[in-house]
Amino acid sequence: MDCCCVDCCGHGHPHAFTRRQWMWSTALASVGTMLSGGVGPRGSSAAAQTAENASAALDVLRKSISVDVHTHGGMTGIMSQAPPNGDLAKGMRAGSLAVACLADVPDAPILRRNAAGVLTAMRTPEPGELYKYHLGRLDWVDEMVASHNLRRALTAADLEAAHAAGQPAIVGDVEGLDFLEGKLERLEHSHQRGVRHVQLVHYTPNDIGDFQTGIVTHHGLTPYGAEVIRACQRLGFVCDVAHATEDTAKAAVRVSTKPLLLSHTAISGSPAMGPTPLAARQISRDHARAIAQTGGAIGIWHFFPSLEKYVDGLKEMADVVGVDHVCIGTDQSSNPGILPDYTQWVHLVAAMLRGGFSAEEAGRIAGGNYMRVFRAAVG
Average pLDDT over residues 118-141: 94
Spatial separation of the C-alpha atoms in residues 69 and 45, rounded to whole Å: 36
Confidence category of residue 5, pLDDT binned at 50, 70, 90: very low
| Residue 119 CB burial class (10 angstroms; 0-12, 13-18, ≥19) | middle
- In this model, does residue 242 exceed pLDDT 60? yes
Confidence category of residue 149, pLDDT binned at 50, 70, 90: confident
| Residue 3 CB burial class (10 angstroms; 0-12, 13-18, ≥19) | middle
In single-letter form, the type of residue at position 57 comes to: A
- In this model, does residue 273 exceed pLDDT 50? yes
Termini Cα distance of the chain: 31
| Residue 126 CB burial class (10 angstroms; 0-12, 13-18, ≥19) | exposed
212 and 244 in contact (C-beta within 8 Å)? yes
Q: What Cα–Cα distance (Å) separates residue 294 from each residue in 119, 218, 360?
A: 30, 23, 22
pLDDT 10s digits, 179-218: 999 999 999 999 999 999 999 999 999 999 999 999 999 9
Residue 16: predicted pLDDT: 37
In single-letter form, the type of residue at position 103 comes to: A
In single-letter form, the type of residue at position 134 comes to: H
Helix (H, G, I), strand (E, B) or coil at 106: coil
pLDDT 10s digits, 75-89: 778 888 887 877 889
Spatial separation of the C-alpha atoms in residues 160 and 343, rounded to whole Å: 21
User: CATH 3.20.20.140: does it fit domain 66-377?
Assistant: yes
Spatial separation of the C-alpha atoms in residues 379 and 373, rounded to whole Å: 9
Alpha helices by DSSP H, listed for the chain, are: 19-35, 45-63, 87-95, 129-147, 156-165, 185-192, 223-235, 246-255, 285-293, 307-321, 345-354, 359-363, 369-377
Q: How many CA atoms lie within 13 A of 10 on its CB side?
A: 0
* Sequence ranges of the domains in the chain: 66-377
Percent of the chain with pLDDT over 90: 76
